[in-house]
Amino acid sequence: MKTALCIALACAPWMLGAEPTFTRDIAPIFQARCEECHRAGTAAPMALVTYEETRPWAKSIKERVVRREMPPWHIDKNVGVKHFENDRSLTDVQIDTIVRWVDAGAPKGDAKDMPAAKQWPKEDTWVTAKLLGEPSFVVSTDPYTMPARGQDVWWKPITPLPITEPRWVRAVEIRPATLAGRKITHHARADLEQDDPAAEDRSPRPAGFLMEWAIGKQNDVFHADSGKLLVPGARIRWEMHLHAVGEEIRDNVELAVWLYPKGQEPKYKTQLTFLPGTPRVNGSQLIDIAPNSTAQTSGITVLRQPARLDNYQPHMHLRGKAMLMEAILPNGTTQTLSYVNNFNFNWMNNYIYAPEEAPLVPAGTLIRVTTWYDNTSANRNNPDPDQWVGFGDRTVDEMSHAWVNVTYLPEKDYQELLAKRK
């Protein structure tokens, strides 16, 4: 009975009585979830392709996957939205397989069970290309040299976009051009400036955020019915936060854009929205974290139209511990949307909701973002638990907000989408 049930449920081989081995059980998991970063020529500190490369790290691997630190996917999938288009986490069965393999002494297994080596694209391949093909265009900032030591730098160059007629954006991806550049680039925000066709003065003016990239983020892929509009004369005003890492590094940042086919217009325009996780006064966030203590803050944003929330990207610094996003509906009920309970500053994950589960909320909904901070020695990322911490743009300061692509909907469309969900 047990064997028949396991076969029906596609159980791992070790569930049928055999201890897991690297060649039969672990290598396929690593090919699916780990090798994208853990292979030669990438930023990861070790490769996990062969048994010989992997075996010395077995105990460390077990620890990291049990704590759900690796692969870097830090959202609690037991509450709120549970399915994501870009989920790279391990399943419970995969984690259990790795644990049992390590506990059994990390055996290699039979060489004939080893799957064929996975062929990876070149390192300069865009992540989004796997989904949408090559980008419509790529633009770059001028290079910048960050000295080995010094204060944080905020660099704000302007880059024109090659747009000669109105076109809609399907996806955006930003990256430092080299692996070394990723060490010094805390974030790169692409603010869109372009003409307002309705204005008499046709000079470029702020038109919202195109994308915000931070350490560990990959891309923004908009739902198939939504996008962002670019018009002739559009340009990017960058905000790049760079910090010293002990070696001089010269690099630039690249922006890739995937356009909808010419003449195709998505039904809705989506807006990358800054949702604060603290009260704000004159643009500053109210954060006050005493030495050797924890703290909590909350911020509220009012949505004045019906809307769909397409993603969730928490942003904190080194003391950030967890972030919760909730919707307080006009009838007074509260819905948990997403909760990152294991935040890691080195991985600013963007959680793209599966289309059928992207939250739909009515006009008048309050989006509450609550943040927890850990300024104690228990926080392994904390550079100095004896230091008071307040709001600021430097990496050693703290901040709290979520980046969310908000797609506003006409009331009629909102009601129709809601009816389909039911």
pLDDT along the chain (422 residues), means of 10: 41 64 91 84 80 90 88 90 90 93 91 86 78 94 92 91 94 90 88 71 65 83 91 92 91 94 91 91 88 96 95 94 97 96 88 93 97 96 95 90 94 93 80
Q: Print the SS3 string covering 69-114.
A: CCCCCCECCCCCCCCECCCCCCCHHHHHHHHHHHHCCCCCCCHHHC
For residue 390, which phi and psi values (nearest 5 degrees)?
-130, -175
- What residues does each domain of the chain span? 2-113, 129-266, 271-421
Rounded distance between C-alpha atoms, residue 354 and residue 357, angstroms: 5
Cα angle 41, 68, 394 (rounded to 5 degrees) comes to 70
Cβ density class 265-292: b for 16+ within 10 Å, e for less: ebebebebbebbbbeeeeeebebebeee
Alpha carbon of 187 to those of 154, 360, 395, 422: distances in Å?
Answer: 10, 29, 10, 39
Task: Please report the pLDDT score of residue 204 as a whole number.
Answer: 56
Overall residue count recorded for the chain in this entry: 422
Nearest to 90 by CA among 114, 113, 69, 108: 69
Helices and strands (DSSP H and E) totals, the chain: 8, 26
- Please give the CATH topology (third level) of the domain spanning 271-421: Jelly Rolls (2.60.120)
Write out the two tokens for 72. Answer: 């870097």
- Collapsing DSSP states into helix, strand and coil, what is residue 308? strand
Rounded distance between C-alpha atoms, residue 131 and residue 385, angstroms: 43
Overall CATH class of domain 129-266: mainly beta
Rounded distance between C-alpha atoms, residue 308 and residue 408, angstroms: 6
Task: Please report the pLDDT score of residue 341 as a whole number.
Answer: 92
CA atoms within 13 A on the CB side of 286: 11
Alpha carbon of 201 to those of 137, 235, 365: distances in Å?
Answer: 28, 17, 35
Write out the two tokens for 202. Answer: 């046709």
Rounded distance between C-alpha atoms, residue 172 and residue 253, angstroms: 13
pTM, rounded to two decimals: 0.82
Alpha carbon of 267 to those of 37, 50, 209, 315: distances in Å?
Answer: 36, 47, 19, 29
Characterise 249 by phi-psi region: left (phi > 0), alpha (psi -120 to 50), beta (else): beta
CA atoms within 13 A on the CB side of 333: 6
129-266 and 271-421: same fold?
yes
Rounded distance between C-alpha atoms, residue 266 and residue 221, angstroms: 13
